[in-house]
């Protein structure tokens, strides 16, 4: 039975590992050996990774891969991806290849506005509050200038601060809704630092303002924090071609286009389907987000909330056939950075950005959106033609065989054997045993 | 300028690396050296990780850490986390410690139903379709029995298959809505295999059914696929204590409780806030999802869609004060596995599951939900008291200093120095230079 541990975070890394190995696992020596096996040989490199977070014991490996042949706005990219799910990189590569000779991907950044809010409660006079806000607004900009100085030099800063009355939703609830341009930084620390200064100034000046809080009115700052919901930080990605270019066989091409439209339309009206449809998009997006050192939880939250913005959770991608042209596209919110944070700390993130030709944040938005659109195209294409299991199953089969200790030759033979058979644990084990008994 | 590459997926790993190094980076030798630096020394271990996905070049390190002292239903856990964001593990550990002597976390699994659907279009007679479905339903179960056999032995299987008329949303659109119990498996492959068999049988029998398709009616299976939206696969996690137990100072305790309620209420009515509020929950959830080899895109999509189920994207957590007791809780959908997939392939995933005392899928649901609730509690606690930047900034400062090449002693001195000062790139660089010039 595990016991309480005091001061764990102050333990040395060795002592942390000792404690976990001894108290949480049955074979302490084996646990220590395993955790250390995943350390980098180079202690300096290892230290970099240890310091990213607290209580680090080892490195969790995610495969770092690359999907080549993405043509985006006439420029070619090989896109780095870090992801554990089989078929994601294969699907991305296939979709890239498919569109390579059909015009490639077209992308546009439709906005880069970041958002942060000071949330506060006020039970006094609304007109007095608005008047006070108008008076104090220039000072809110002024007192944040030490923080915004270097961002302003790079072309960013606070764009606006607006007082919003939300008392109809929650009594006494108001916001200072602030918008930001953070150029190539994701900007979380910058935005939060600005907001905390804005709220300090706002509160301090409110306390001094005649007629605002003089009769026992209450003003309470609840919190000041950036929002990961960025509906004005939007990128659009699109592919299109003539319907007959979708397949060498004209009948197949038109049937395929029609089924793609049906699949997208279903994901538009049916949340059960929309969730998995969009999950597939995120397979591509998160793989690039991780490889480029961005925050996938932030991106996930913003995109899924955007998918529900019309009241029903719905498909992020759209498809149409118009004048004989098949078009497939999406517009999604993406707040990304290519400077700051992990981008300058994680050696493989630096490499990923180099592989992408050192993109600006706006360029990275476009690349990430393409990875998502490509993934969705590949998934729908499988779904409406061969079914999802065919592609998945080959990788799944290889993983199962590895786990069962099959060698390369056995793997190759069994991949052929299972081409038209049901892959499940029992069948694979039986087939392997039969092969090994030969 | 990058060129198109043919047959990349068939290249050996060395050749893939060569191609990327030469074509996408400025110093090919340095790129090769870096990618190989992240390989595991042990070629067998490396091969395991290479095979997870396609085109693997190296291992992307995520810190693998642990947050101790979680008391869940009276049992203690140290929770493994794989995450790149600083403060997540620290926040988890703090929240665990806070609740340790206040009764700990209480959890309940409210359901474990998984979902999959066969989506099809049919433009014929509705009554005939329903009649056909009732007739063919036993056969749908029967023809999947080779697939469900071993799952049935473990207590799972297909629970029901229902025909749903969705033609009001989209003309001619129907579903076979299937529900599953997959016990300790996440079950994606199992569900998809079942669905593909169900759709095959359904379509084949429909073609033979008199009066269904005899007058030129069309029946088209569009796709068969599991859903990551699992509103009946739900876990509840909760903490509670007397308001006065929240702080040694009674006034502070009651003020804190009130502000926590305000913060949650704001996240309930304001999507801009809800997105980041829930993003914080996902910081804790995804860290455990990754460490235990589950699919974070699936979990993210299902949870965020659930957060929008009432038409407005809203807070996943709830808080109340009732009869002097502060209660903080959430109910979230979580479809997880502790067998199959990465859980048996990734050595650190196996270790993570051992550290968690080999949980069943239901136990893992509870642990993951607690990690999410703890993270949200810690984030709100910072937000409504000191502000989010104080905690974040210490880790951020350490990362910046590492990047600037500061040694341990310089780091220690500057952490003290910046305790009450604004942390930004310019200030930190200046302070470090001043210290080094001494």
Model confidence over A59-103: pLDDT tens digits? 999 999 999 999 999 999 999 999 999 999 999 999 999 999 999
Which residue among the candidates A14, A84, A85, A354 is catalytic per the annotation? Answer: A85
**Structural tokens at position A174:** 């108001």
The Cα B203–Cα B218 span in angstroms is 11
Helix (H, G, I), strand (E, B) or coil at B329: strand
* Farthest CA pair distance, chain B: 94
**Count of Cβ atoms closer than 10 Å to residue B322 Cβ:** 8
- Confidence (pLDDT) at A354: 98
Question: Does B266 sit within 8 Å of A170, measured CB to CB?
Answer: yes
Count of A-B CB contacts under 8 Å: 469
The Cα A35–Cα A59 span in angstroms is 8
- Confidence (pLDDT) at B32: 98
- Confidence (pLDDT) at B426: 81
Domain over B68-111+235-372 is classified CATH 3.30.379.10: no
pLDDT tens, B329-384?
999 999 999 998 899 899 999 999 999 999 999 999 999 999 999 999 999 999 99
- Confidence (pLDDT) at A392: 66
**Count of Cβ atoms closer than 10 Å to residue A167 Cβ:** 14
Question: For A213, how many CA atoms within 13 A lie in the half-sphere containing its CB?
Answer: 13
Question: Does A66 sit within 8 Å of B227, measured CB to CB?
Answer: no
For residue A12, list chain B residues with Cβ-Cβ distance below 8 A: none
Residues in chain A: 438
- Alpha-carbon separation of residue A98 from A239, A280, A286 (angstroms): 11, 18, 22
Domains B68-111+235-372 and B114-227 share a fold: no
3-state helix/strand/coil string of chain A: CCCCCCCHHHCCHHHHHHHHHHHHCCCHHHHHHHHHHCCCCCHHHHHHHHCCCCCEEEEEEEEEEEEEEEEECCEEEEEEEECCCCCHHHHHHHHHHHHHCCCCEEEEECCCCEEEEEEEEECCCHHHHHHHHHHHHHHHHHHHHHHHHHHHHCCCEEEEEEEEECCCCCCCEEEEEEEEECCCECCHHHHHHHHHHHHHHHHHHHHHCCCCCCCCCCEEEEEEEEECCCCCCEEEEEEEEEHHHHCCCHHHHHHHHHHHHHHHHHHHHCHHHHHHHHHHHHHHHHHHHHHCCCCHHHHHHHHHHHHCCCCCCCCCEEEEEECCEEEEEEEEECCCCCECHHHHCCHHHHHHHHHCCCCCHHHHHHHHHHHHHHHHHHHHHHHHCCCHHHHHHHHHHHHHHHHCCCCHHHHHHHHHHHHHCCCCHHHHHHHHHHHHHC
For an interface test with A, the pick among B40, B225, B260 (most A C-beta atoms closer than 10 Å) comes out as: B225
- Alpha-carbon separation of residue A429 from A382, B392, B400 (angstroms): 27, 49, 51
Q: Is A134 a catalytic residue?
A: no
Question: Does A276 sit within 8 Å of B225, measured CB to CB?
Answer: yes
For tokens 């089989």, name the residue. Answer: A86
pLDDT tens, A390-435?
666 777 788 788 888 888 889 888 888 888 777 777 888 899 999 8
For residue A290, list chain B residues with Cβ-Cβ distance below 8 A: 60, 84
- Confidence (pLDDT) at B392: 66
What percent of chain A is predicted at pLDDT more than 70? 99
The Cα A434–Cα B314 span in angstroms is 55
Q: How confident is the model at residue B388 (pLDDT cuts 50, 70, 90)?
A: low
For residue B305, list chain A residues with Cβ-Cβ distance below 8 A: 271, 274-275, 304, 307-308, 313
The whole-angstrom distance between B183's CA and the closest CA on chain A is: 16
pLDDT tens, B56-77?
999 999 999 999 999 999 999 9
Domain over B114-227 is classified CATH 3.30.470.20: no
* Domain ranges across chain A: 8-50, 68-111+235-372, 114-227, 392-437
What's the N-to-C CA distance of chain B in angstroms? 48
Res. B50: pLDDT tops 80 = yes
The Cα B272–Cα B313 span in angstroms is 9
User: Residue B396 in contact with residue B423, Cβ under 8 Å?
Assistant: yes
Res. A245: pLDDT tops 80 = yes
- Confidence (pLDDT) at A423: 77
Q: Is A295 a catalytic residue?
A: yes
pLDDT tens, B367-380?
999 999 999 999 99
B324: left (phi over 0), alpha (psi -120 to 50) or beta: left
Res. A348: pLDDT tops 80 = yes
Question: For B171, how many CA atoms within 13 A lie in the half-sphere containing its CB?
Answer: 3
Q: How confident is the model at residue B175 (pLDDT cuts 50, 70, 90)?
A: very high
pLDDT tens, A120-151?
999 999 999 999 999 999 999 999 999 999 99
Q: Which residues of B are catalytic?
A: 85, 279, 295, 392
Question: Does B147 sit within 8 Å of A424, measured CB to CB?
Answer: yes
pLDDT tens, B284-324?
999 999 999 999 999 999 999 999 999 999 999 999 999 99
**Structural tokens at position A128:** 């007095």
- Confidence (pLDDT) at B151: 95
Helix (H, G, I), strand (E, B) or coil at B242: strand
- Confidence (pLDDT) at A172: 97
pLDDT tens, A298-312?
999 999 999 999 999
Res. A437: pLDDT tops 90 = no
Question: Does B222 sit within 8 Å of A20, measured CB to CB?
Answer: no
The whole-angstrom distance between B362's CA and the closest CA on chain A is: 20
- Confidence (pLDDT) at A258: 95
Res. B390: pLDDT tops 80 = no
The Cα B248–Cα B250 span in angstroms is 6
**Structural tokens at position B230:** 């699992």
Across chain A, what does the average pLDDT equal?
95
The Cα A357–Cα A347 span in angstroms is 15
The whole-angstrom distance between B215's CA and the closest CA on chain A is: 21
Environment class of B210 (CB within 10 Å of its CB; exposed 0-12, middle 13-18, buried 19+): exposed
The Cα A336–Cα A113 span in angstroms is 11
The Cα A421–Cα B144 span in angstroms is 14
Across chain B, what does the average pLDDT equal?
95
Question: Does A82 sit within 8 Å of B60, measured CB to CB?
Answer: yes
For tokens 């930084």, name the residue. Answer: A185
Res. A244: pLDDT tops 90 = yes
For an interface test with B, the pick among A14, A23, A55, A61 (most B C-beta atoms closer than 10 Å) comes out as: A61
User: Residue B145 in contact with residue A422, Cβ under 8 Å?
Assistant: no
**Structural tokens at position B214:** 């005899």
Nearest chain B residue (CA) to A302 = B275
* Helix or strand (DSSP H, E) at B121: strand B114-122
* Rounded average pLDDT over B45-55: 95
pLDDT tens, A150-207?
999 999 999 999 999 999 999 999 999 999 999 999 999 999 999 999 999 999 999 9
Burial A297-336 (b: 16+ CB within 10 A, else e): bbbbbbbbbbbbbeebbbbbbbbeeeeeebebbbbbbbbb
Res. B391: pLDDT tops 70 = no
User: Residue B115 in contact with residue B227, Cβ under 8 Å?
Assistant: yes
For residue A386, list chain B residues with Cβ-Cβ distance below 8 A: none
The whole-angstrom distance between A208's CA and the closest CA on chain B is: 22
Q: Is A346 a catalytic residue?
A: no
Nearest Cβ partner for A63 among B53, B224, B226? B53
């Amino acid at each position: 039975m595990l016991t309480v541990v005091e001061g764990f975070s102050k333990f040395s890394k060795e002592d942390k590992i000792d404690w976990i190995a001894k108290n949480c696992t049955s074979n302490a020596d084996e646990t220590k050996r395993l955790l250390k096996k995943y350390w980098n040989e180079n202690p300096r490199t290892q230290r970099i990774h240890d310091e990213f977070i607290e209580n680090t014991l080892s490195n969790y490996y995610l495969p770092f891969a690359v999907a080549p042949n993405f043509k985006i706005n006439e420029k070619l990219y090989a896109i780095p991806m870090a992801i554990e799910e089989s078929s994601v990189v294969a699907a991305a590569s296939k979709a890239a290849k498919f569109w390579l000779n059909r015009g490639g991907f077209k992308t546009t950044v439709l906005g880069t506005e970041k958002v942060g809010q000071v949330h506060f409660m006020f039970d006094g006079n609304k007109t007095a509050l608005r008047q006070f806000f108008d008076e104090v607004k220039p000072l809110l900009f002024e007192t944040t200038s030490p923080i915004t100085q270097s961002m302003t030099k790079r072309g960013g800063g606070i764009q606006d601060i607006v007082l919003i009355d939300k008392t109809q939703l929650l009594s006494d609830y108001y916001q200072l809704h602030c918008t930001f341009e953070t150029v190539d930084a994701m900007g979380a620390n910058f935005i939060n630092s600005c907001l905390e200064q804005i709220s300090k100034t706002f509160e301090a000046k409110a306390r001094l303002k005649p007629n605002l809080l003089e009769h026992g009115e209450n003003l309470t700052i609840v919190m000041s924090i950036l929002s990961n919901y960025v509906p004005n930080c939007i990128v659009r990605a699109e592919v299109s071609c003539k319907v007959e270019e979708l397949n060498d066989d004209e009948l197949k091409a038109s049937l395929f286009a029609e089924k793609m439209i049906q699949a997208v339309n279903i994901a538009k009206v049916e949340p059960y389907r929309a969730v998995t449809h969009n999950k597939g998009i995120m397979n591509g997006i998160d793989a690039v987000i991780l490889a480029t050192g961005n925050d996938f939880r932030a991106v996930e939250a913003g995109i899924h909330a955007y998918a529900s913005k019309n009241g029903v959770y719905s498909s992020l991608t759209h498809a149409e056939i118009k004048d004989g042209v098949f078009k497939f596209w999406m517009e999604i919110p993406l707040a990304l950075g290519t400077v700051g944070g992990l981008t300058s700390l994680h050696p493989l993130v630096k490499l990923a950005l180099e592989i992408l030709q050192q993109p600006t944040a706006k360029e990275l938005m476009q690349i990430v959106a393409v990875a998502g659109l490509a993934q969705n195209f590949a998934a729908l294409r499988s779904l409406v033609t061969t079914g999802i299991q065919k592609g998945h199953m080959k990788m799944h089969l290889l993983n199962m065989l590895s786990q069962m200790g099959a060698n390369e030759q056995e793997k190759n033979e069994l991949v052929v054997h299972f081409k038209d058979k049901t892959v499940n644990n029992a069948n694979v084990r039986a087939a392997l045993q039969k092969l090994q008994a030969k």
